[in-house]
Structure 1
């Protein structure tokens, strides 16, 4: 069969199919269902992305320059507004030109046909695929207006350099939004879909300008622009830029939504690609952008290899408001907010929560001095403090937590037991396995940043834990609700205990604490804890306000590399920038003091009620009735010069501060009676 017969046979088949489809429409009365991509929106119903075989950054038609709309119609489908999806005149013209040349030099596909292929079909070139394309083309035309079709097309067509859709293309090549495109830029972009790799202005500016000229001439012939406008467009100075970074919003979060549907429903991917679902998520796009900006700017101060993660949750309902799983989705789809890593001292709040709920107070005294623990089947364990080794002095628990004293933490863990710490950590939201060793207090068991954010939530929310939520509601194309997720709340610790620990963690972000810089970075009441692993491979900060909990992790994917910075050095500033931006414009509120909690000024040397003789004091909160009532008698103990590195504790009684015989030493200081 020669080329002429082939062309007429195809045209005849198309005409017959078109007529049959039209008759079926009249008989049925309603257009048949056609596949529609699903939309993922944030908690405020702002579009995050649409889910189809390719990703894009959708915009509405009124957000696309009119010159871009006209240019694409002029060069791709000049009779777009006249035909009903299949342009028989265009097909005949293309067939004639192809016959004349003896090759395929011109296509007859309309914009609607191209959209049908991009939305629902694969790249194969078969008769079956062509029939499906025509079917979907007809249904698209019957279901949507021309403006809607053009809008969908401009959001789907591939422009090269990884850019799907005109908004992505405008940002990729010209670093601007589609609504700001000039006539010259519009014509250059409109020329790309024919051969994106060849006409890409970043690699072939000469070819792109030649193609641009063809588009502008066609616009002139169709009366879309004047000759003067064409000359001005050709004279425009255009400097395209190469920008290949993925433009999909919140890619790590979107990937979790897609994974959820894939795992829950046998046909989950088909549902997303073709059911026209609207998935309202818990994400807040404004907070997401603040999180991405804070992480990138913070890590950028170190180097381009270091990575990290940031996840934020509303402690009142468990909504995940921001999720950044890494610096670049394009380079790595590994979501570090779900990766297990040692949190270092960021784990200590679970220890202190268990201690306060077990009867200890913020003013309970524990000594920082050399201590060794025997371990069955392992080497003896001797905890040390960061840099200094030992402080050789007593600490009240609030001060020990603020400066992140390791020796005090391990001794406290020994007093209450690792199993008790595990019980509290699990109740508060940690799901990963925890090893029942004393070193657990220093964060030696692996957890995820998301778990840490969830588990700090009860401290911010009066002892109530909320299960993390990704999705609020799922509706189908007709508005019927398929799924609806409500907050799942559980009271896991007493609100008085939660407030006392929160007050203790406030000290960590104030002068003298391990994240003291946050005292001037953040202009609202916050609390939190730094974390640094012993080998400096991981740096953390997990903190919260009454409205938002956020967990920041910093580290290399190659665990042989060391960050070389503490959580206070690198993670805390990232957290501070994020929290300040994310909550900007919201009402500043402090943590609510529960009934039955009282404030007292205490002496940091002995944990007693502060007096005029106290040289160091700190305010602390107590469950009513447990606050110290006996005044401090001054600095009873001082540090003496050590004659050697061995021997008893380097503290002796200060005779200038006599203590009455009836002075009631605290139970946590049994050695004072012996040494006095």
Structure 2
């Protein structure tokens, strides 16, 4: 805009203002708008909660500390008692600065103008709204005394944390009525209306103290207090209490939605509290209740101090369908669904996915016996199975994963390399830092339940990764769309590889698997993996059906305490109860077998093709052409009277490009 046009705009503004001032009769004031709370709804538009927190307690001016009255006038409108609603000196100064900058940099609004805006107008910043503001400002000044205007302002201005008015603010931050506010507390509250979220003493005491000093200095300049009083007030220790929001449903999930608004908008909380937004989320409130019930009922059978988390995602689109961050929001707002913990063997599917994609098959065999690996700058690493022993026999990869054999996993990690495990975990959805050690295969790097659910969802979705989503759409009170989000999908695995790993994980919940005890609970095809960390400090189960993936974490907030049971014993039952109840009305279907995948019966002792004489067998899936062709002769040979003959080992050569140790100590971001 040119300087000439800006000048004309300014002159037109002054002419309109003069017309308003000169009107002999003005329409009566309209009833003020009441702040409209925002609604957070689930994916089916069922109400989760309203985010009003419109905490207001009207009081008379003589019930407000004189310090507070002085402080708000000093910092917001020092000529409040001299002007008639519009401070032309301050307005001209602000207009000049704005014209020079070519944009609005100063407000110049008086207390009466702010009250007019709060009572009668919305947040938009247009010339038409400014004219209306001036109109209502003049009406307020003609109708009420200065004390009445100041009283209304102090009862309506927003101080953050849902507190409208000084009485609510005094009780929210200092747990006392407004009449008992000290000079120090008054100066601190008076500094809040400029930026309530930033200057809130409960979350940013340093910023609040800096703003308090500005208010006190201004009060000294205006002769309201002495310099000695200001120094004493600045030195006065202040303890502002942190307010705990109470959400009746899905509190941990709702807190994340609210965090989105805090981070995206400077006035995000004010928008939520008073703008009547409708936030459609990805949550399924019925599934959420099922998740909360499952976590609570199972954990109640154990130590009451033990805690946990459950997060569920629709693998097709990334919608977060349920999120339970702990047993009791009122006791702890710490969201364990987003907190990092070691996942133990629940991390192994990333190793096995890397191996299958590198050319290994479900029938490839690895020996479980003692092995030691040198480590630079650390003692040699000797993995053992859970409990410290060895099986001293070969395992197919499918059986090793089903029973969660640690030695086989570490040997396989040595073959494919820790770097490959990290790459696949990254591509599938793990974003936390991962350490490039062989023990990574056993879950020694910390991850979050949300990441694990998302990464397992890549397998459930046939190799297509979906980013987790919280919010679908945000609309204002007039139905205008402010934000809208859609699924982000990307293929990161071959569908054949994803299916083969899924089939291997299906064996975990079948006889012989580490979660076999839940097979009677879940009456549909599922795949998953238990996880138990060293010394039994954390327990996990992450699993999925074609429709839903869920991660369950169980542990103490005090990491020195042991859960004392395995993931199969405590986390898997929570997962099973949630899945069975949550999907009870969903048609049962199996994972679709992609083209190019074939099924074969194999011997578990050597991974070769089973024969009618084979005793220990299992079904496995293979990329067409990689299935074993050589028959298993071990059982037949033993029946011929050669029991001492060792089993026939696989003659398949290791896949090309594997076998590098790739061992390092750096943390991979």
Match of 1:23 among 28, 37, 52: 28
Tell me the alpha carbon deviations over residues 299-331 of structure 1, each in whole angstroms, 9 at most, x when there is no partner: 100021000000000000000000000000000
- Offset, 1:267: 1.1
Which residue of the partner structure matches residue 265 of structure 2? 265
Tell me the alpha carbon deviations over residues 323-355 of structure 1, each in whole angstroms, 9 at most, x when there is no partner: 000000000000000100000000000000000
Match of 1:131 among 129, 142, 152: 152
Matches within 5 A, 1:342-353: 342-353=342-353
Q: Using a 3 Å threshold, how does the CA distance of structure 1 residues 251 and 134 change in structure 2: closer, same or farther?
A: closer
Does the CA contact (< 8 Å) of 2:341 and 2:447 recur in 1?
yes
Q: Distance in 1 between matches of 2:388 and 2:377?
A: 29
Match of 1:666 among 652, 657, 660: 652
Q: Using a 3 Å threshold, how does the CA distance of structure 1 residues 134 and 553 change in structure 2: closer, same or farther?
A: closer
Is 1:519 the counterpart of 2:506? The answer is no
Q: Distance in 1 between matches of 2:414 and 2:155?
A: 74
Matches within 5 A, 1:172-211: none
Q: Using a 3 Å threshold, how does the CA distance of structure 1 residues 659 and 40 change in structure 2: closer, same or farther?
A: closer
Q: Using a 3 Å threshold, how does the CA distance of structure 1 residues 369 and 252 change in structure 2: closer, same or farther?
A: same
Is 1:655 the counterpart of 2:642? The answer is yes
Tell me the alpha carbon deviations over residues 458-482 of structure 1, each in whole angstroms, 9 at most, x when there is no partner: 1100100100000000000000001
Q: Tell me the SS of whatever aligns to 1:421.
A: helix
Q: Distance in 2 between matches of 1:330 and 1:135?
A: 29
Which residue of the partner structure matches residue 474 of structure 2? 474
Q: Distance in 2 between matches of 1:371 and 1:660?
A: 21
Q: Distance in 2 between matches of 1:255 and 1:129?
A: 35
Q: Using a 3 Å threshold, how does the CA distance of structure 1 residues 130 and 524 change in structure 2: closer, same or farther?
A: farther
Q: TM-score, normalised by structure 1?
A: 0.64
Tell me the alpha carbon deviations over residues 116-153 of structure 1, each in whole angstroms, 9 at most, x when there is no partner: 9xxxxxxxxx95575259989xxxxxxxxxxxxxxxxx
- Offset, 1:667: 2.8
Q: Using a 3 Å threshold, how does the CA distance of structure 1 residues 395 and 668 change in structure 2: closer, same or farther?
A: farther
Q: Using a 3 Å threshold, how does the CA distance of structure 1 residues 585 and 533 change in structure 2: closer, same or farther?
A: same
Which residue of the partner structure matches residue 302 of structure 1? 302
Q: Tell me the SS of whatever aligns to 1:608.
A: coil
- Offset, 1:636: 9.0
Q: Tell me the SS of whatever aligns to 1:520.
A: coil
- Offset, 1:668: 5.5
Which residue of the partner structure matches residue 598 of structure 2? 598
Q: Tell me the SS of whatever aligns to 2:531.
A: strand
Matches within 5 A, 1:91-106: none
Q: Give the ranges of 4+ consecutive aligned residues of structure 1 lying more than 3 Å apart after TM superposition.
A: 31-34, 126-130, 132-136, 244-247, 635-638, 653-661
Matches within 5 A, 1:596-635: 596-635=596-635
Q: Distance in 1 between matches of 2:641 and 2:405?
A: 25
Q: Using a 3 Å threshold, how does the CA distance of structure 1 residues 382 and 476 change in structure 2: closer, same or farther?
A: same
- Offset, 1:456: 0.3
Is 1:483 the counterpart of 2:489? The answer is no
Does the CA contact (< 8 Å) of 1:366 and 1:397 recur in 2?
yes
Matches within 5 A, 1:34-183: 34-53=34-53, 127-128=148-149, 130-132=151-153
Which residue of the partner structure matches residue 545 of structure 1? 545
Tell me the alpha carbon deviations over residues 246-304 of structure 1, each in whole angstroms, 9 at most, x when there is no partner: 66110000100110100011111111111110000001100000000000011100021
Does the CA contact (< 8 Å) of 1:633 and 1:657 recur in 2?
no
Q: Using a 3 Å threshold, how does the CA distance of structure 1 residues 401 and 328 change in structure 2: closer, same or farther?
A: same
Q: Tell me the SS of whatever aligns to 1:541.
A: strand
Q: Tell me the SS of whatever aligns to 1:517.
A: helix
Q: Distance in 2 between matches of 1:449 and 1:135?
A: 42
Is 1:376 the counterpart of 2:362? The answer is no
Matches within 5 A, 1:559-574: 559-574=559-574
Q: CA RMSD in A?
A: 2.9
- Offset, 1:660: 12
Q: Using a 3 Å threshold, how does the CA distance of structure 1 residues 495 and 21 change in structure 2: closer, same or farther?
A: farther
Which residue of the partner structure matches residue 162 of structure 2? none
Higher mean C-alpha displacement, 314-323 vs 44-53: 44-53
Q: Using a 3 Å threshold, how does the CA distance of structure 1 residues 550 and 637 change in structure 2: closer, same or farther?
A: farther
Does the CA contact (< 8 Å) of 1:514 and 1:568 recur in 2?
yes
Does the CA contact (< 8 Å) of 1:635 and 1:657 recur in 2?
no
Does the CA contact (< 8 Å) of 2:607 and 2:650 recur in 1?
no
Q: TM-score, normalised by structure 2?
A: 0.65
Does the CA contact (< 8 Å) of 1:253 and 1:324 recur in 2?
yes
Which residue of the partner structure matches residue 14 of structure 1? none
Q: Using a 3 Å threshold, how does the CA distance of structure 1 residues 547 and 664 change in structure 2: closer, same or farther?
A: closer
- Offset, 1:561: 0.6
Tell me the alpha carbon deviations over residues 30-72 of structure 1, each in whole angstroms, 9 at most, x when there is no partner: x7755311110111111111112369xxxxxxxxxxxxxxxxx
Q: Using a 3 Å threshold, how does the CA distance of structure 1 residues 251 and 32 change in structure 2: closer, same or farther?
A: same
Which residue of the partner structure matches residue 425 of structure 2? 425
The gaps in structure 2 that reach 5 residues or longer are: 1-24, 56-118, 120-146, 158-167, 169-243, 656-669
Paired residues, what number?
Answer: 458
Is 1:403 the counterpart of 2:403? The answer is yes
Matches within 5 A, 1:499-518: 499-518=499-518
- Offset, 1:576: 0.3
Q: Using a 3 Å threshold, how does the CA distance of structure 1 residues 654 and 295 change in structure 2: closer, same or farther?
A: farther
Does the CA contact (< 8 Å) of 1:540 and 1:552 recur in 2?
yes
Q: Distance in 2 between matches of 1:517 and 1:458?
A: 26
Does the CA contact (< 8 Å) of 1:338 and 1:450 recur in 2?
yes
